[in-house]
Amino acid sequence: MITPVGGDDVSGRGSASGSKPSDISSSDSELDASKPTPDGGVSQPVEPTKSSEDSIGGAALVRTETAASNGGFSRDITTRQMFLMAAGGSIGAGLFVGSGQALHVGGPASLVINFAICGFMVSMTMASLGEMATSYPVAGAFYDYTVRFVGETAGFAMGWNFVFNWLIVLPFELTTIGAQLEYWDPTLRPWWFIIPFMVVLALVSLKGAKWFGEVEHWLGLCKAVSLMTFICFAIALTTTGAASDSRGALGARYWHRPGAFLNGFQGFLAVFRVAGMSYGGTEMLGLTAAECRRPHRVMPMATKIVFFRLIVFYVGGLLMLGFLVPADNPNLSAVGHGAKYSPFVLAANLANQPALANFFNAMIVTALVSMANAAVFASSRALQALCSKGMGPRTLGEMRRGIPVYALAVAFALALLAFVTAAPGGGEIFDWLLSLSATSNYMTWAAICYSHVRMRKAMAVQRWDRGQIIWRSPFGVWGSYVGLAVCGCGLAAQVVVAAWPLGRGYDAKAVTRDVIGIPFILAIFGGYAIHQKWRKGERRLMVPLAEIDLATGFRNKEYARVADEEAAKEKELVLDVLGYQKEWSLIKKAGFHAKQQVNLGWVYTLRKRLGKKE
C-alpha cells in the first residue's frame, strides 16, 4: 500500500462511498508489511493464509500463479503469448476490410491522418490502462476501474457497453470471413462456413485461457508477418515497380489522381467510424491482465509494443495501401453495400501477382479467425465478471473448471446473427455492426481515460505518494485528457455524418445506423441511475474523490520486487528440471531456449506425467 503523506488513515476509505470494490481477494489487502492506523501507529503483520507460502515482512503474499485475486481464473497466459497478442492482436476486419471503405470514401490522406490521430489516442489510452492494470490487476478489465474511480452507475453502463461491443464483433468477423472466402470461389455462400468456424472457436474456448493465448500467439505472428510482407511489397511497387505490373513505379500518382482527399470534410469525418472499429480490441490486453502470471511486468511491455504496432502496421500499412490502390476503384466497398474483398488483396491483383493475392487473402482469413477468437474470449470474460458483481444475471457469472461456460453460451448464441447475411439485403449487416462497434469503442476508450484521470485526482486529494506506482503512463494525466478529446471528436463525427449524409439525401435508416449506439448507452446509464435512486437511495452519479477506495488490492513496488523474485526462483526450478546448466556456452543456451519455445511447454508436461508413472 502507498503510505499517505502525513500518516492519514486510508485503509478503510471508500467503504461507504457507494463505489463497489474490485473483485479482489480479501488477502490482497494483506500484501503490505504494515498498515497505518488512525492513531498514526503501525498494525501488526498478519498471519500467512493457506494460499500464500511467501511473505513480505511477515505479511501474506498471494502467489502470482494462484487464482485468488483474479475472479477465479487461472493465470495461464505467458509473457511470450502476451508479446504476440500485443503485436498482432485486434488486427481484424476493421483494418483488412473496412479500410477499403474508408479509402473509397475519404481518400488516402484522410485514411492515414484519421488512423494516425486515433492510433495516437489509443496509445495514450493503453498507457493509462497499463498504469491502472499494474496497480490493480483485476478480473473485469477497465469497467471495474470505472466502478471504483468514477461510480457504480458509470461502471454498469460501460461494462455492458463493452460486453455488447464484443458480442457484436463476433458475428461481424464471421460475416467478413465468409466474404473473404468468396474470393476463391464466387459460388460459395458466406453462411456456409459460420457453423464450422463456431465449432472450432468453441473447442478453443472450452480449453481455457492457455489455449486462447497459444492460438492468439501464432495467429498474431501470422498477422504480423503478412503486414510486414505487404509493406515490403508496397515499397517495391512504389519505388521501382514490378515486371508483372504494366503501371511501372507507382510513386504518389494516386494521391494526385483521384486525389488525396475525397468528399471534402464529410469524407474526412466518415473515416473516423472505420478507424474507431479498426482499433477496437486493443484495450482487451487489460482484460487478460487477470489471467497473466505477472501483470505488473507484462502490461507495461504490452503497452509499449502496442505503440509500435499502431505506428508500423496500421499507419504504415495504410500509407502504403494508398500508394497502391486508387480510391475510386470500383472493387472497393462502399457504405451500405456490405463487406467486399480486402483492399490488400486488391493491391496484389492490380499488380498481377495472383500468388501473393492468395497469400494475403489466406492471412486475412487467419486474422479474422483470430479476432473472432478474441471476441469470444473478451465477451465471455467481461460478461462473467459483470454478472459475478451483481450487475447482471447471477447464473452468467458462474464458472465451471475456470471457464465461464454460461457466458460462452450467450456469446455463441448471438454469433448466430451472422446468418442474417443469408436474408435479402443481409449484406448490410456489415455496415450496421461496423457503426455500432465504432461507437462502443470510442465510449470504452473515453471511460478508460476518465477513470485514469479520476484515479490520479483521488491520489492527489488523499495525499498518496505516486512514486510507489509500479509503472506510470509516460503521457501522464494529460494523455488521458487528449484521449477524451479525440473520443469526443469521434462520437461527434458519427452524429455529423448521420445528419449530413455523404453524397445522398436524407436517409432515416442510415441515420439510425450511425447514431443508435449513443442513445443505447445513455439509456443504460439512465436506467441504472434510476434503479440506484429508487431501490438503494443512491443519488450520486460519481463517488467523491476523498471517498474513492485506493487501498483495496493495490500493488506497490515492494510487491513487484518480491513477485519478481518468486518468478525468478520458479524459472530456475523449471530450467533445472529440463536439464539446463549455467556452465553452457552462450550458443548452447540460446539453442536450448529456442527449443523450449518451439516445444510450447508440452515436453515439460510430458516429463512430469512420465515421472508420476515411474
Question: Would you say the C-alpha torsion 223, 226, 229, 233 has a positive or negative sign?
Answer: negative
Cell triple for 106: 475519404
pLDDT of amino acid 35:
38
Question: Which helix (H) or strand (E) segment is 56 a member of?
Answer: strand 54-56
Tens digit of pLDDT for each residue in 349-387? Answer: 999 999 999 999 998 899 888 888 888 988 888 888 888
Q: What is the pLDDT of residue 295?
A: 72
Q: What is the pLDDT of residue 554?
A: 87
Phi, psi of 37 (to 5 degrees): -115, 165
294: left (phi over 0), alpha (psi -120 to 50) or beta: beta
**What's the confidence (pLDDT) of residue 422?**
64
What 8-state DSSP symbol labels residue 312? Answer: I
Question: Structure pTM?
Answer: 0.79
**What is the grid cell recorded at 181?**
472466402
Can you list the residues of the chain whose pLDDT is less than 50? Answer: 1-73, 335-338, 602, 610, 612-614
Question: In sequence order, what are the beta bridge partners of 56?
Answer: 59
Assess contact for 170 and 375: CB atoms under 8 A.
yes
Determine the pLDDT at residue 89: 66
Q: Give the model confidence (pLDDT) of 214-229 as tens digits.
A: 788 788 888 888 999 9
Query: What does the H/E/C string look like for 56-97?
Result: ECCEEECCCCCCCCCCCCCCCECHHHHHHHHHHCCCCHHHHH
> What's the pLDDT at 16?
34
